[in-house]
Structure 1
Amino acid sequence: MTDTQLTLQILLSGLFFTSAIIMDLYQEKIPNKLCLLAIFCGFAINAYYAQLAGVLMASFGFGLAFILLFPTFILRILGAGDIKLMMGIGALMGPELLLSNIVYGIVAGAGTSLILIIWKTGFIGLAKTFKRYWDCIYLQSYFKPEAGEAAGEKVPYAPAFAIGWVWACSLDSNILELFFNWNQYLSLWGV
């Protein structure tokens, strides 16, 4: 993998995640056009720089994202936009970084989900959810979430996947080497 290819992959992934976060937070939807553009860029860049090996890597990343995340769509844990975005990131960055990205994104999701729920409903919504859970346990009966309750809210997951991507990139030896080379290059120019 060349430095130019890796640089393009990192910059484009960062751009796709930034766009997805903005749209997911404000519109609660990640547009198909953004996801398709990520998928197209993933296949195009990898095919251009690594020919057949690049197409295979993009295919494995794309397919792995689908295989791992589609069950979360069926269980209504993630939305279709989250899965399609990660399929694009898988096509762009490949299966290894994608797998780390998903694992770290799940870990980061615990924190981002709590922050976003508090942002949407406040601590009152969180307290209502805890009270409802207590009532369900105490009365041994299920009660549906009420309006304004934390459990009834959708939580955008693009921020969690973006944090997982940054985390995965920060541990990848090829990306760390690339950043080290950038620092050396910039220091030669006095930047």
Structure 2
Amino acid sequence: MIIYFVLIIALLISLITDILKRKILNIITLPAILFGFIYYAVFQGLEGFLFSGKGFLLGLSLLLIPYLLGGMGAGDVKLMASVGALMGGSFVLNSFVYIALIGGLISVILIIKKNGFIYSVKSFYFYIIFLRGNFVSLLLSRDKSSSISFPYGVAIVFGTLCTFIWGSFI
């Protein structure tokens, strides 16, 4: 089916550009979104348009808060929205579970790689035992020099491919 082809091409190009340039290009995500709306509207009418629209809005909303908090770029949000527009709401929701797990795993690996395993475990327990309620405020007040970042598009691409291959996580 052509919709799968468009999805795979958009994901692969986004993966490459995110790794090499730390950017997910509008020239990839916006046409994919538009293609999803048009494809479903032409072949399924208003119901198809609404199917694509719900997926788009869900994909957009899932990563909107992390974007607004500065945790990720707008390209990541638009890539997730394009997955929703192309595949629908239930697919993007299932993908999000895989994406969160993969993103969390990558984050843990990078933290351990930067700080060392023993230091990471000690600081984790210190935060839990001594700071409890202040943990969120501590995370929000950390300086940018100590932060670790990675191209989250990698997690989006692999999480979407996991959903494509294995189906629903739930």
Shared fold by TM > 0.5? yes
Sequence identity percentage: 28
CA distance in 1, matches of 2:122, 2:142: 8
Structure 2: gaps spanning 5 or more residues: 132-137
Normalising by structure 1, we get a TM-score of 0.69
2:115 to 101, 105, 126: 126
1:16 is displaced (CA, Å) by 0.8
Is the CA contact (8 Å cut-off) linking 1:112 and 1:159 kept in structure 2?
no
CA distance in 2, matches of 1:81, 1:171: 25
CA distance in 2, matches of 1:100, 1:75: 23
**C-alpha spacing 1:113/1:8, structure 2 compared with 1 (3 Å):** farther
1:41 to 21, 26, 35: 35
RMSD: 3.1
SS of equivalent residue, structure 1 residue 60: helix
1:23 to 10, 17, 32: 17
Aligned to 2:150: 155
Name the aligned partner's letter for residue 111 of structure 1: L
1:133 is displaced (CA, Å) by 4.5
Once the two structures are superposed, the pairs formed by residues 1-191 of structure 1 within 5 Å of their partners are 7-114=1-108, 117=110, 123=113, 125-127=114-116, 130=120, 133=123, 151-172=146-167
Structure 1: gaps spanning 5 or more residues: 1-6, 174-191
CA distance in 1, matches of 2:36, 2:23: 21
Which fold has the larger relative contact order, with Cα–Cα distance below 8 Å and residues 6 or more apart in sequence? 2
Normalising by structure 2, we get a TM-score of 0.77
